[in-house]
Amino acid sequence: MEPARRAVLPSDLSVLVETRDGAPLSLLLGLRRNSRDQLDVRVAEGAQVYDGRRVWRITPAPKGLVVDDEVSRERVALPAGAGARILAVHQRSVWVETPDGPLACGMKDGRCARAAPPDLPLDHPGPGSGFRLVLDAGTLRVALPQERDEGVVLATGVTRVLGAYWVRGGSGEADAVVHRTFRGRARVHAVARAVTADGALTDWETSAPLVVEAPWQLQSGGADWRGARDGSFSMAAAWTADQVCLAGRVRDDEVSVADELVVQVGPVARRVTLGSDATGDVYVRHGWLGVSWEMCIPSGALPARDRLPLAVTFTDVDTDEGPTVLASAPLEAGSPLGELLLDAPGP
């Protein structure tokens, strides 16, 4: 009898969805925890999917759609008609809605034929109950094997899942494209405990921070960025009934008054000028470990819920270089695509 083959588990999940305003949103979830025990969640503008070898970008065109293979730089026109609406993306085909019924078009050759949309692979086998993609009341989640919570929230305001690719490994050539295509979007937990905002960070020593230092966390200016020593930052969060506090450190080889950190939690945005000392309720300290920062936002200024939109953005301006921007999450229509979860108090 042949020994049973060990299943190859997916390393990434590429998902294309349609949001409530009818726009496509592309998401990429790393299914393996990184060295900081976090899952990497990234987003891309428009309709883009990653299958491990190719990054396909689908855009409207006067006579239908255009598909760009971002790895090979090949372009294919899909004659689906003006205003074609994507129904599904599966394997190497796109299904679009037309007045005469659904049309399936190959992303490699552009050939189209009448065909019903496929059943998308929303589940993948794995340990325990395996992996599962769930859309419930507009919230898209990924349930992971042996996870006790409700799963990883990928997006809210979702009306349909248009495509799901369970990626098992990838190619180096595609990885480079993925890094510049999909941008970081962090999910950060705020522990339920009191801290004192003074910029010293002594009461944050036991916190496990989110660290923004990877190429895919760059929002712009990547050509001038030379790695974490050139510009990166960390962030941790805590909360009480009265306030939500965030703190961290910025690593920068050349700190100037033009360097800025913007912290946005829900509707509240705070700016931190790294080249100056504490101003108002934002605390800044300079030391050999970098620039530390700390702030607290009154709970009354925030929506009364335990999940808040979050994005922390660092703009680094060095001499004779353009600005480099790294972020825990990008913004979509001015709203952060990251998420701050207020953990329940312990027993």
Q: Over its length of 347 residues, how does the chain's per-residue pLDDT go in tens digits? A: 344 445 678 999 999 999 988 889 999 998 887 655 667 888 888 999 999 999 999 999 998 899 999 999 999 999 888 888 899 999 999 999 988 899 999 999 999 999 999 999 999 998 888 999 999 999 899 998 866 567 777 888 899 999 999 998 877 789 888 888 888 777 788 999 999 888 888 889 877 788 898 888 888 887 888 888 899 999 999 999 999 999 999 999 888 888 999 999 999 999 888 877 656 678 888 887 788 999 999 999 999 998 899 999 999 998 888 899 999 988 877 788 888 989 888 66
- Phi first, then psi: give them for residue 251, nearest 5 degrees: -105, 125
pTM value > 0.75:
no
H helix or E strand, kind and range, residue 76: strand 74-78
What local confidence, expressed as pLDDT, does residue 338 receive?
85
Work out the angle at residue 191's Cα, subtended by the Cα atoms of residues 190 and 196, and round it to the nearest 5 degrees.
95
**252, β-bridge pairs:** 231
Pull the structure tokens for residue 14: 């590429």
pLDDT for residue 34: 65
Rounded to whole angstroms, the Cα distance separating 275 from 284 reads 9
Q: Which residues contact 151 (CB under 8 A, 6 or more apart)?
A: 132, 134, 141, 142, 143, 144
Residues with Cβ within 8 Å of residue 197, at least 6 apart in sequence: 245, 247, 281, 283, 294, 295, 296
CA distance 225 to 322: 10
**pLDDT for position 127:** 86
Vertex 287 angle, CA 285 and 292, to 5°: 40
Specify the DSSP class assigned to residue 8. -
